Amino acid sequence: MYAGKLVFAQVMDHLPLHTFRRYVARHRGEHKVKRFSCLDQYLCMAFAQLTYRESLRDIEACLRAQSSKLYHLGIRSKVARNTLANANATRDWRIYCEFAQSLIGTARRLYADEPFGVDLKDTVYALDATTIDLCLSVFPWAPFRSTKAAIKLHTLLDLRGNIPSFIFISDGKLHEVNILDQLVPEPGAFYVMDRGYIDFERLSRFDEAGSFFVTRAKSNLKVQRRYSHPVDRNTGLICDQTVVLTGFYSRKGFESPLRRIKFKDPESGKTLVFLTNNFALPALTITKLYRLRWQIELFFKWIKQHLRIKAFFGTSENAVKTQIWIAVSVYVLVAIVKKRLKLSASLYEILQILSLTMFERIPLHQLLTLSEPDPTMSVAVSQLNLFE
């Protein structure tokens, strides 16, 4: 008797499988493949992310224990550790990269009206990178230090919904500022970044495209003040100035005026100096925008704690990138489910519930709706009375 779909299958129903198959065909992901399709590989790796599996052997043991339910999970082939390892090592990681980007586009449309702490209609991005340490002898393709390997996740985070709109995976030696060359500036959008991204020649490309950046000034910045705007010092603002760069190379790279805002944080007592090319927003709003940059640090902390991107199932570059992109797609998929089902639970709560209920047949909305138990139902109807 049919009793409904498994929870895992209900979550995967939100995937655009026609789009996935198009990317598989584009990169010939199933060329000469007889069994264990790219979709089987994706579902196995997504299962590992949602249930916190630690290794390929762990995935194999768990799925073989539920072999009678694999078909209902959407997996059409027997799961073997060697088969999954070979698929991760040989099938083009760009399949999962482009598929994750497709999901990101869907999620960003769903979260387009999400508030993020500042009353601003424009899109605001936070740009930063995080390092994942690796063993140099096991991952020689990702050099970082003389005795250490690492990869960097360069991420552009849309602060509406905390959706990563751009991710670039590099070895540990690539400096963060180089990632500005990979970005396509979006007119009218704000890019919030720290001092490591200050390269005025690269930032001028954003200015010419009509984009705005907010960053902190370095201590050795050389500028000449042109005009001082009035500020309310009771808010922590010290000055709001229009300046031009006077350094030889910085002036050559960025000739337009900049806005320099000096602010003393009333909580920490630190004095911060901000630079931006936006002259329309109030100075206090600029300081609030930079404070929101901390969201990307929280995003990195969250994905490292709750997704499998620190310990890898394979050692090749293709296997590592495949695992990271599938992890990103699972994160975005859960965000899509949360928005489509209008759930009040956080992503953390949803992941914790899903990790324990993959093989249940409870309707997804009912499972993920956090509600208090009915006290009138605490006693079972069939409970016998010993004193009758």
Domains of the chain: 7-95+313-364 (no CATH), 194-283 (3.30.1370)
Q: Of 188, 194, 127, 175, which is closest to residue 155 (Cα–Cα)?
A: 127
Provide φ and ψ at 187, rounded to 5°: -55, 135
Res 266: pLDDT: 83
* Residue found by looking up tokens 């196995």 in the block: 44
Q: What's the chain's Rg over C-alpha atoms?
A: 25
Res 386: pLDDT: 55
Res 268: pLDDT: 83
Res 32: pLDDT: 87
Burial (CB count within 10 angstroms: exposed 0-12, middle 13-18, buried 19+), residue 120: middle
Res 377: pLDDT: 44
Interatomic CA distance for residues 163 and 166, integer angstroms: 9
Please report which residue ranges of the chain form alpha helices under DSSP H: 7-12, 17-26, 38-51, 56-65, 70-73, 81-90, 94-110, 200-208, 248-253, 283-291, 294-306, 317-340, 347-356, 364-368
Interatomic CA distance for residues 59 and 78, integer angstroms: 12
Interatomic CA distance for residues 48 and 45, integer angstroms: 5
Question: What DSSP designation does 69 have?
Answer: G
Q: Of 211, 225, 241, which is closest to residue 122 (Cα–Cα)?
A: 211
Are the beta carbons of 242 and 262 closer than 8 angstroms? no
Res 382: pLDDT: 52
Predicted confidence (pLDDT) per residue in 344-365, tens digit: 999 999 999 999 999 999 999 9
Res 360: pLDDT: 92
**Regions of the chain with pLDDT less than 70:** 1-3, 370-388
Are the beta carbons of 140 and 172 closer than 8 angstroms? no
Question: What DSSP designation does 34 have?
Answer: -
Interatomic CA distance for residues 201 and 65, integer angstroms: 58
Res 49: pLDDT: 95
Are the beta carbons of 272 and 216 closer than 8 angstroms? yes
Provide φ and ψ at 94, rounded to 5°: -65, -20
Res 181: pLDDT: 94
Predicted confidence (pLDDT) per residue in 188-231, tens digit: 999 999 999 999 999 999 999 999 999 999 988 999 999 999 99
Q: What is the pTM of this model?
A: 0.90
**Cα angle 355, 351, 318; round to 5:** 85
Interatomic CA distance for residues 93 and 108, integer angstroms: 23
